[in-house]
Amino acid sequence: MERPEALAKPDPVDSAGYAGASAKLSDLPLTDASVLTSPTMLTVENLNLFYGKKQALFNIDLKVAKNTVMAFIGPSGCGKSTLLRCLNRMNDLIDDVTIEGSVRIGGSNIYEPGVDVISLRKRTGMVFQKSNPFPKSIYENVAYGLRIQGVRDHQILDEAVETSLHSAGLWDEVKDRLKESALGMSGGQQQRLCIARALAVNPEVLLMDEPCSALDPIATSRIEELIFELKKKFTIVIVTHNMQQAARASDFTAFFWLGKLVEVELTEKMFTNPRERTTEDYITGRFG
Ligand SMILES: Nc1ncnc2c1ncn2[C@@H]1O[C@H](COP(=O)(O)OP(=O)(O)OP(=O)(O)O)[C@@H](O)[C@H]1O
Ligand SMILES: [Mg+2]
């Protein structure tokens, strides 16, 4: 597809902001223009990943700007979860994985020898497809990460629990039942609890792998609104199969196919005028 002249020019904000975006500010009806100049938070460079001998990711180069939401889309098996797990070294837990290339959060490569993986995971909270509250009280679920870090002061814990539940849009619903089991909550509440638990340790990056796929439309829209709020404080990467969700909740979208990053763009542009034919076929439902 031919690209219009104005959009084909190199992006002028490369040094500070997001190199991949080729749209103009006027292409941004949904997204605040500040996303184009926001400094880079996450940089993936020339990343290759192999499960045994089978290569699952090929030469991935990607930047995620601070305080923005990046959506990963693409057909099942294209490597979205694999790449997401590379961002907090969760693939280290899988046998026989080889990773080449680098992932930088802020300035430092998280794959450098000697990196403290525990403190890395504090910087990168993760929320999974299926909510996974612990069989503990609502309070203890949120306080969990801080307790692991050795925080004992009740006032600090109380404040962190309240702030995190507020941020996850859950405080008003649970403030009178903090001592009750988390397992008695609805599915949507449990997922927001898992978000609160991830936020309690004050991460810089929040990784979400299909966080709404088990939720009904109302619970889903609450999480999408939440994501939009949370990006004021955090940088968010979300995997989704729901095109409307990507369009509603993200600033940038990255489309993957067969382990390759086909295209990364401002979400608005990706969904109205994608550069690649494969992207267009996918988002219009012609395959996948
Ligand atoms: N632990 C593993 N061991 C071996 N191969 C794996 C492992 N996890 C994923 N793969 C393979 O890597 C490829 C990418 O898988 P991945 O789970 O990242 O895809 P995905 O895009 O998240 O798919 P989905 O949309 O179905 O969740 C697939 O071919 C998959 O079979
Ligand atoms: Mg997946």
Nearest-CA residue for atom 4 of ligand 1: 51
Cα separations in angstroms, 7 against 143, 227, 249, 269, 277? 47, 28, 23, 10, 17
Nearest-CA residue for atom 31 of ligand 1: 77
Q: Which one of 49, 51, 58, 94 would you pick to mutate in the ligand 1 pocket, going by the greatest count of ligand atoms within 8 A of its CB?
A: 51
Nearest to 236 by CA among 18, 66, 79, 15: 66
State residue 35's pLDDT score: 81
Please tell me if the CB atom of residue 138 comes closer than 6 angstroms to any atom of ligand 1: no
Q: Which one of 53, 72, 81 would you pick to mutate in the ligand 1 pocket, going by the greatest count of ligand atoms within 8 A of its CB?
A: 81
What would the CATH number be for the domain defined by 25-283? 3.40.50.300
Cα separation of 90 and 86, whole Å? 6
State residue 215's pLDDT score: 85
pLDDT in tens, 82-140: 999 999 999 988 999 999 999 999 888 999 999 998 888 889 999 998 889 999 999 99
pTM passes above 0.85: yes
Q: How do the domains of the chain map onto residue ranges?
A: 25-283
Cα separations in angstroms, 202 against 8, 54, 235? 39, 36, 12
What region does 255 belong to: left with phi over 0, alpha with psi -120 to 50, or beta?
beta
Half-sphere exposure in the Cβ direction for 146 (13 Å, CA): 23
Q: Which ligand is nearest to the CA of 82?
A: 1
Structure tokens at 145: 């990460």
Q: Which ligand is nearest to the CA of 72?
A: 1
Residues with CB under 5 A from ligand 2 (ion): 81
Cα separation of 242 and 228, whole Å? 16
- Three-state SS string across the chain, please? CCCCHHHHCCCCCCCCCCCCCCCCHHHCCCCCHHHHCCCEEEEEEEEEEEECCEEEEEEEEEEEECCCEEEEECCCCCCHHHHHHHCCCHHHHCCCEEEEEEEEECCEECCCCCCCHHHHHHHEEEECCCCCCCCCEHHHHHHHHHHHCCCCCHHHHHHHHHHHHHHCCCHHHHCCCCCCEHHHCCHHHHHHHHHHHHHHCCCCEEEEECCCCCCCHHHHHHHHHHHHHHCCCCEEEEECCCHHHHHHHCCEEEEEECCEEEEEEEHHHHHHCCCCHHHHHHHCCCCC
Compute, in angstroms, the gap from residue 39 CA to the centroid of ligand 1.
30
Structure tokens at 220: 């889903």
Please tell me if the CB atom of residue 80 comes closer than 6 angstroms to any atom of ligand 1: yes
Compute, in angstroms, the gap from residue 79 CA to the centroid of ligand 1.
6
pLDDT in tens, 176-187: 999 999 999 999
Closest atom, ligand 1, to C-alpha of 82: 18
Show pLDDT as tens, one digit a residue, over the chain (288 residues). 333 333 333 333 333 344 444 444 444 445 677 788 889 999 999 999 999 999 999 999 999 999 999 999 999 999 999 999 999 999 988 999 999 999 999 888 999 999 998 888 889 999 998 889 999 999 999 999 999 999 999 999 999 999 999 999 999 999 999 999 999 999 999 999 999 999 999 999 999 999 998 888 888 888 888 898 899 999 999 999 999 899 989 999 999 999 999 999 999 999 999 999 999 999 998 875
State residue 37's pLDDT score: 84
State residue 31's pLDDT score: 64
**229, β-bridge pairs:** none
Structure tokens at 148: 């692991």
Cα separation of 117 and 123, whole Å? 10
Compute, in angstroms, the gap from residue 2 CA to the centroid of ligand 1.
33
Please tell me if the CB atom of residue 98 comes closer than 6 angstroms to any atom of ligand 1: no
